[in-house]
């Protein structure tokens, strides 16, 4: 809810992104205290993954996130203030994160690229504020930002989408769609109604470094624009474009133009997303990616989920002496799984499940990955608020 909580709004995703109003967002626990409405949400995963092939690895890991929001009306004008914070203990898993075949992005020590690993997220994932002010019978203007926030670029980050709530591994397209969900320095302004939202951001283009416990120096050297349409309570679609200044620490002289488009649908216990992204290096080549993911809650206890991704990636061989260095390869990863859900006490839920993954790739990668790399992941997830 925004604008004094008087109108039914689409679901809130990460940053200022929007989700379907019905079933598209992760839920939280709401508490009233004085004039404030407080929302708490969080989770902790305990997982073990085993992935095959020469580049495969096996490891246990724990990932987590805790989120708090506080919202109140500002006088009788209909304006609202919302304060948001999000924290993670992911840095405890170590600088190299966890095994994830075909994943690339960021570094473990500032000089070596992380390949076939998912990097840990920072302790401070968000420290931001937002003010919404009605400027017409059905139109609000808003300002959002902070030292750690998310610009208007791409769909909601994967950990905030109901379609991804039981997928234990981060998507390999993360650095095409939602790598900016932790950005040090963001200012966003926009207009919205219940059906549409138009916004623009200034932000720091450089991705987080390997020091995960601190807050890096904010900057406003990049920009983005995004338009979102919610034609009904079940649908949300967005298109966005951004110019990022030197996003990769290992390529300081290369900027990026990023274009994304995505559609999300939710109804009852079903939620799904489909998206496309294009990264145009300046200077350099253009690399594209596709993603589809879904979660289906079958009754009170059983859930089926899956994700399929296809991406053109030229970062799989960082060694300049390797004959495959800097060559783009179009690769596909599919993941399918099951979770058993149960209520523990109050708003605390648990899910126990697992998933399997398979990989499709060109034969040129057989030497590095084997002919048929695959893997599985088992997990226990504890959630506050679903």
List, for residues 244-264, the tens digit of each pLDDT value: 999 998 888 999 999 999 999
- Whole-angstrom distance, CA of residue 225 vs CA of residue 240: 6
Among the residues of the chain, which ranges form H helices? 174-177, 366-369
Single out the residue of 221, 215, 218 nearest to residue 242, CA to CA: 221
Q: DSSP character for 208?
A: P
Q: Does the bond joining 283 to the residue before it have cis omega, within 30 degrees of 0?
A: yes
Give the Cβ contact number of residue 178 at 10 Å.
30
Instruction: Determine contact, residues 270/294, Cβ cutoff 8 Å.
Output: yes
223-239 pLDDT tens trace: 999 999 999 999 999 99
pLDDT for res 6: 38
Nearby residues of 47 by Cβ (< 8 Å), 6 or more positions away: 60, 61, 62, 63, 98, 168, 377, 378, 379, 380
State the average pLDDT for the chain: 93
* Domains along the sequence of the chain with CATH: 3-384 (2.40.160.10)
Q: What is the DSSP string of 99-157?
A: EEEEEEEEESSSSSEEEEEEPPPPSEEEEEEEEEEE-SSS-EEEEEEEEEB--S-SSS-
pLDDT at 1: 37
Note whether 317 and 324 are within 8 A (CB): yes
Residue 28's pLDDT is what?
79
Helix, strand or coil for residue 381? Answer: strand
* Per-residue pLDDT reduced to its tens digit, 188-226: 999 999 999 999 999 999 999 999 999 999 999 999 999
In the structure, what pLDDT confidence band is assigned to residue 137 with cuts at 50, 70 and 90? confident
* 3-class secondary structure, 331: strand
Over residues 260-269, the pLDDT tens digits come to 999 999 998 9
Distance, CA of 143 to CA of 92 (rounded, Å): 34
Q: Which of 111 and 341 is assigned the larger pLDDT?
A: 341
Confidence of residue 26 (pLDDT cuts 50, 70, 90): low
What whole-number percentage of the chain has pLDDT above 70? 97
SS3 of the chain: helix, strand, coil, percent, to 5: 5, 55, 35
């Amino acid at each position: 809810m925004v604008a004094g909580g008087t109108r039914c709004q689409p679901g809130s995703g990460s940053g200022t992104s929007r989700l379907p109003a019905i079933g598209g967002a992760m839920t939280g626990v709401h508490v009233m205290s004085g004039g404030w409405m407080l929302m708490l949400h969080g989770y902790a995963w305990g997982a073990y993954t085993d992935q095959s092939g020469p580049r495969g690895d096996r490891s246990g890991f724990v990932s987590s996130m805790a989120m708090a929001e506080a919202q109140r009306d500002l006088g009788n004008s209909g304006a609202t203030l919302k304060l948001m914070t999000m924290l993670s203990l992911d840095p405890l898993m170590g600088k190299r994160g966890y095994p994830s075949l075909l994943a690339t992005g960021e570094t473990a020590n500032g000089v070596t690229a992380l390949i076939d690993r998912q990097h840990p997220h920072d302790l401070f994932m968000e420290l931001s504020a937002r003010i919404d002010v009605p400027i017409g019978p059905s139109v609000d203007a808003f300002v959002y930002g902070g030292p750690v926030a998310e610009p208007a670029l791409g769909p909601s980050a994967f950990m905030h989408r109901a379609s991804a709530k039981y997928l234990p591994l981060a998507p390999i397209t993360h650095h095409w769609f939602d790598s900016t969900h932790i950005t040090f320095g963001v200012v966003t302004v926009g207009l919205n109604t219940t059906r549409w939202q138009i916004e623009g951001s200034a932000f720091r283009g450089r991705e987080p470094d390997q020091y995960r416990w601190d807050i890096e120096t904010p900057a406003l050297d990049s920009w983005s624009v995004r338009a979102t349409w919610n034609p009904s309570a079940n649908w949300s679609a967005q298109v966005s474009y951004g110019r990022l200044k030197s996003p990769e620490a290992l390529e300081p002289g290369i900027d990026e133009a990023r274009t994304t488009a995505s559609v999300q649908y939710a109804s009852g216990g079903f939620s799904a997303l489909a998206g496309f992204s294009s990264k145009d290096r300046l200077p350099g080549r253009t690399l594209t990616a596709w993603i589809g993911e879904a979660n289906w809650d079958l009754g009170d206890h059983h859930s089926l989920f899956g994700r399929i991704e296809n991406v053109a990636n030229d970062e799989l061989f960082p060694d300049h002496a390797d004959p495959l260095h800097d060559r783009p390869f179009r690769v596909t990863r599919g993941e399918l799984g099951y979770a058993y859900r149960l209520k523990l006490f109050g708003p605390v839920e648990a899910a126990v499940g697992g998933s399997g993954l398979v990989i499709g790739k060109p034969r040129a990668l057989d030497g590095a990955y084997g002919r048929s790399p695959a893997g599985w992941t088992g997990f226990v997830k504890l959630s506050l608020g679903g």
